[in-house]
Structure 1
Amino acid sequence: MNIFQQFYKSLYSPETIAKFRFQKIGKTILYIFFFMLIATIPPSWLFGSSIQSFFTQTETHLQETFPDFSIENGVLLSDLEEPLILEENGEFIIFDSTGELTPSDVADYDPAFALLEREALIVADGVYQSFNYQDIALNITRDSAIDLVESVGGILPLLIGLLIVFMYLFATGMKFIGIFTLSFVALLMRRRRGVKVTYAQCWTLAAYTATLPTILLALFDTLALNVPYSFTIYWIIAFIMLYLVFNKIPQPKMREEQSEDK
């Protein structure tokens, strides 16, 4: 059975997963990298598209919308007398050199990128990250900012690609940790069921069992479905799937009792 068939069967067949316990660890490790690649492709595509869109909007606003400004000695300076708040496709761009808006005010706009009097903010999923101009020793004008954005635009596909690779490796590393955790649950099930399964085989079963909940969560993220308690749902599905897998492993035959002395 090739790796594509293994992936398909692992989505619904505990009986087939149980048979994978005899395969070599190296093939299982390769399978983990494979199904994590599938799981990260949709969110990675959305991530790259959103960065490209956000970058394009920022470049456009710098050239056409933002007033002439400069950042000197950690302070944003311009002739603007009130905050400028722009919305496009549900995303907010905020420019405020007056000091009227605070980071908590900007957090109400989600997602958003903001240039405030003394810091820049990025807001995503209700959480904001700030960058103080003074801390990063940023001194820049509107024209130099446009030149910088245009320069970064030339290598943006490369930067996005590197970020996606990092996301994939990080997610795969975390998946290995999750599989190790699930393998210890498999050890407990092994004792309860009384089946002859080594730890290496438990680890292999845990790896294939993780396929279904991983793909489901990736699908939720792709469809932008805000599923509450998704972490708990992941583990419930994994535990149930693992339980069904162990039910498909045959128990050792009981030895026949030796007959008593004739």
Structure 2
Amino acid sequence: MNIFKQLYKSMYSPKDIAFYRFQGIGKTILYVFLLTFISILPTFYHFSVAINTGLEAAEQIIRKELPDFAIKNGSLETDTNMPVTIKRDDFSIIIDPTGSVSQEDLADMGNAFGFLKDDFALAAGGRVQSYSYAMLDNSTLAKQDFVDFITAMDGANYIILPIVFFFILLVSSAMKFIEVSILAVMGIMLKNMGGRRLNYGHLWRMAAYSVTISTIFFTIMEAMKTVVPSGFLINWLVSAIVLYLAVKETPAPKKAQ
């Protein structure tokens, strides 16, 4: 069966998910990669938009509006004793030598660059990537260095973005495989409850398709920039229910006469 047709049927049919336990492991692994690819598209889209629209604005803001600053010995030093926030449409730049602005605060602002006390952070689509100043070792960076760096980045972002996308895909795929493996372990308890004869290989294949509904749902929510309360628990609960229904669709062993 076509892998995209499998994705469609996995949205509503535990019976088909149960049948997929017989297919080759290679196709199931490919399906997990497909799900991961779909799930990261909104994140990467928000990230790339933030980069493309933000670099030019960041250069102008840093050059003309931010106070002089420098990063020395892994910490931010400025001429001001309070956080400074500058907004341009949907983009913000924050410089905070006090440590009062957290990464969570930055995420709430939408698309933003943050020169925080101990790290540099980029917020896009409600997610934050941070980079510690400690990675600079004993190097000192001043305001003009960042202006020069952003100017260079603006011309190289079409090279950098595919690299970033591959990195996000790699990390997200690893997390998805771990999620499927843990769900398959939960499936052992579910199949014992239902008295089904299924091995871990069968359950892993079924678990890979059981996460489809929750993955697509949270992908849509990410595209809409909507935070789902208790999303972690909802994700696992929905996936476990689908797997349980799929396990019930497998034949029970016949009782001895």
Report the TM-score when normalising by structure 2: 0.82
What's the RMSD between the two structures over aligned residues? 3.1
My pick for the range that moved more, 149-158 or 199-208, is: 149-158
1:160 positional shift: 2.1
User: Residue 140 of structure 1 aligns to which amino acid in structure 2?
Assistant: A
**TM, length-normalised to structure 1:** 0.80
Partner deviation per Cα, 1:99-118 (whole Å, 9 max, x = no partner): xx6220577564343457x7
Instruction: Encode CA deviations 1:71-122: one digit per residue, 9 max, x unaligned.
Output: 48667566x89875311234432357xxxx6220577564343457x76643
Report percent identity of matched pairs. 30
Query: Of 91, 96, 99, which residue of structure 2 is paired with 1:103?
Result: 99
1:246–1:119: structure 2 CA closer, same or farther, 3 Å change rule?
Answer: closer
Distance 1:72 1:254 in 2: 73
Question: Corresponding residue for 2:133?
Answer: 131
Partner of 1:226: 227
Alpha-carbon deviation of 1:12? Answer: 1.1
Distance in 1 (CA, whole Å) between partners of 2:156 and 2:138 is 22
Please name the residue that 1:94 is paired with: 94
Provide closer, same or farther for how the CA distance between residues 195 and 85 of structure 1 changes in structure 2, counting only shifts above 3 A: closer
Relative to structure 1, the CA distance from residue 220 to residue 254 in structure 2 (aligned partners, 3 Å threshold; closer, same or farther) is same
1:76 and 1:114 map into 2 onto residues whose CA distance is: 14
Q: 1:106 and 1:17, CA in 2 relative to 1: closer, same or farther beyond 3 A?
A: closer
Question: Structure 2 CA distance, aligned partners of 1:217 and 1:32?
Answer: 15
Distance 1:154 1:204, change over 3 A: same
Aligned to 1:122: 121
Partner SS state of residue 86, structure 1:
strand
SS at match of 1:85: strand
The answer (yes or no) to whether the contact 2:71–2:133 under 8 Å persists in 1 is no
**Structure 2 residues without counterparts, runs of 5 or longer:** none
Residue 58 of structure 1 is matched in structure 2 by: 58
Contact 1:119 1:133 in 2 (8 A): no
Aligned residues: 248
Following superposition, the deviation at residue 230 of structure 1 comes to 0.3
Q: Secondary structure at the match of 1:250?
A: coil
Which range is displaced more, 58-67 or 187-196? Answer: 58-67
Q: Please tell me whether residue 5 in structure 1 is matched to residue 5 in structure 2.
A: yes
| 1:175-186 map, 5 Å | 175-186=176-187
Structure 1 unmatched ranges of 5 or more: 258-262
Match of 2:26 in 1: 26
Post-superposition offset of 1:206: 0.7
Matched, 1:237 2:238: yes
Structure 2 residue aligned with 1:140, among 119, 142, 161?
A: 142
The 1:136/1:217 distance shift into structure 2, 3 A limit, reads farther
Tell me which structure has the larger Cα radius of gyration.
1
**Aligned pair in 2 of structure 1 residues 82, 228: CA closer, same or farther (>3 Å)?**
closer
Change beyond 3 A, Cα 1:180–1:54: same
